[in-house]
């Protein structure tokens, strides 16, 4: 089985993603590390503990960074200005946290210990700002070079969603994304699964209806959770349905062939902009010259129909044929 750490800020789409990862038999989810992002750290941790309880998962939850690098360095607290996922992070749904699954070990130490114990074997699926990953690199870069692979939902070549050029996770902590790609991107394969990919996917109203009415209790719960997300999409973008960004990263980690070979660009150059109006932008050079680091793999497309089919078959095999 592949050894996985999920780093996350749950989050409605994180919840879909974590459930899929926990359901997939090819993954041995070692632990869930949590970062502040969609909502503050405490809410994200409680939501992660709720998901672990819901799914009866064995892994522990490790609280991590309370704020992005810049704020941590200035000793400032993290406050949010937009609540795409509702105040608690899961729309109107309240899960019951299993506090016995909360570890006292900090996420950063847990990541480093686990990589040390399993050099070359750990894959990290990062579904939030990259703060925990960057802190781990700053603490012990040589160990982090022994990560097998990082799948990062974030960034975008052609679009932003938090600003015209910046996607939320990379906008929330651009310095962390920069540290990650700059410091270990040449040694560790980091796959950017950004808005170019996720925005090609959509759970439309039919999918959400099916989920809510035909997929048992878990489907009803995800459907209910998605109502808030759906309203956000409608109010902000006049889009019906939802884009379940983080789930795309997990489904691609499970089966990269959901993207055609033409949509995957290996060993390209990615640079993060951290200042000014372009802060949080991921700038990709698809044909790097000799002086530019080949520090990223960038996904640019996915088959939306196959993606959704793979999700329903994985999580709801008894209801989906
Ligand atoms: C990303 O931002 C968050 O709101 C989602 O959970 C996802 O990780 C999409 O831009
Ligand atoms: Ca997320």
Q: What is the predicted ipTM? A: 0.99
* DSSP at 256: G
Q: What is the atom index within ligand 1 of the atom nearest the CA of 162?
A: 10
Residue 238, phi-psi category: left (phi > 0), alpha (psi -120 to 50), beta (remainder):
left
Q: Rounded to whole angstroms, how far apart are CA atoms 279 and 39?
A: 20
**244 CA → ligand 1 middle, Å:** 8
Q: 245: Cβ below 6 Å to ligand 1?
A: yes
Q: What is the atom index within ligand 1 of the atom nearest the CA of 128?
A: 8
Q: What is the atom index within ligand 1 of the atom nearest the CA of 38?
A: 4
**245 CA → ligand 2 middle, Å:** 8
DSSP 150-184: EEEE---SS--SSSSS--HHHHH-HHHHHHHHHHH
Residues 70/61, Cβ–Cβ less than 8 Å: no
Active site residues: 9, 245
* Ligand 1 mutation target, pool 130, 169, 173, most atoms within 8 A of CB: 169
Closest C-alpha to 170, from 270, 243, 82: 270
Residue 8 backbone dihedrals phi, psi, to 5 degrees: -155, 160
List CB contacts of 218: < 8 A, sequence separation 6 or more: 19, 54, 315, 316
Q: 127: Cβ below 6 Å to ligand 1?
A: yes
**117 CA → ligand 1 middle, Å:** 30
pTM surpassing 0.90? yes
Residue entry with tokens 């994304």: 177
Residues with CB under 5 A from ligand 2 (ion): 9, 11, 14, 127-128, 246
**85 CA → ligand 1 middle, Å:** 9
Q: Rounded to whole angstroms, how far apart are CA atoms 109 and 64?
A: 9
DSSP 181-195: HHHHTTTSEEEEE-H
CA distances for 99 relative to 218, 293, 309, angstroms:
21, 43, 34
| Tens digit of each residue's pLDDT, the chain (321 residues) | 999 999 999 999 999 999 999 999 999 999 999 999 999 999 999 999 999 999 999 999 999 999 999 999 999 989 876 678 888 889 899 999 999 999 999 999 999 999 999 999 999 999 999 999 999 999 999 999 999 999 999 999 998 999 999 999 999 999 999 999 999 999 999 999 999 999 999 999 999 999 999 999 999 999 999 998 999 889 888 989 999 999 999 999 999 999 999 999 999 999 999 999 999 999 999 998 999 999 999 999 999 999 999 999 999 999 987
Which residue minimizes the CA distance to atom 10 of ligand 1? 168
**199 CA → ligand 1 middle, Å:** 12
Q: 167: Cβ below 6 Å to ligand 1?
A: yes
């Amino acid at each position: 089985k592949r050894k996985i750490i999920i780093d996350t800020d749950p989050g409605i789409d994180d919840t879909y993603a974590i459930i899929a990862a926990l359901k997939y038999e090819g993954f041995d989810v070692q632990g869930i590390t949590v970062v502040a992002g969609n909502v503050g750290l405490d809410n994200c941790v409680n939501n992660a503990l709720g998901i672990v309880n819901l799914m009866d998962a064995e892994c522990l939850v490790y609280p991590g960074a309370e704020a992005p690098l810049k704020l941590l360095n200035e000793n400032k607290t993290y406050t949010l200005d937009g609540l795409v996922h509702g105040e608690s992070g899961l729309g109107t749904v309240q899960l019951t946290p299993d506090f016995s699954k909360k570890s006292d070990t900090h996420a950063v130490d847990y990541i480093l210990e686990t990589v040390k114990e399993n050099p070359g074997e750990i894959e990290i699926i990062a579904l939030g700002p990259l703060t925990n990953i960057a802190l781990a690199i700053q603490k012990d870069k040589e160990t982090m070079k022994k990560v097998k692979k990082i799948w990062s939902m974030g960034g975008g070549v052609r679009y932003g969603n938090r600003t015209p050029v910046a996607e939320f996770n990379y906008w929330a902590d651009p310095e962390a994304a920069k540290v990650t790609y700059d410091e270990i991107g040449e040694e560790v394969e980091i796959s950017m699964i950004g808005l170019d990919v996720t925005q090609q996917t959509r759970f439309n109203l039919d999918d959400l209806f099916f989920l809510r009415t035909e997929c048992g209790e878990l489907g009803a719960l995800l459907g209910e959770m998605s109502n808030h997300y759906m309203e956000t999409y409608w109010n902000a973008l006049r889009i019906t349905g939802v884009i379940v960004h983080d789930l795309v990263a997990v489904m691609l980690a499970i089966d990269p062939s959901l993207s055609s070979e033409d949509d995957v660009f290996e060993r390209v150059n990615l640079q993060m902009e951290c200042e000014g109006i372009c802060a949080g932008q991921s700038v990709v050079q698809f044909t790097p010259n000799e002086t530019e680091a080949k520090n990223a793999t960038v996904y640019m497309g996915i088959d939306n129909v196959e993606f959704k089919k793979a999700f329903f078959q994985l999580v709801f095999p008894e209801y989906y044929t």
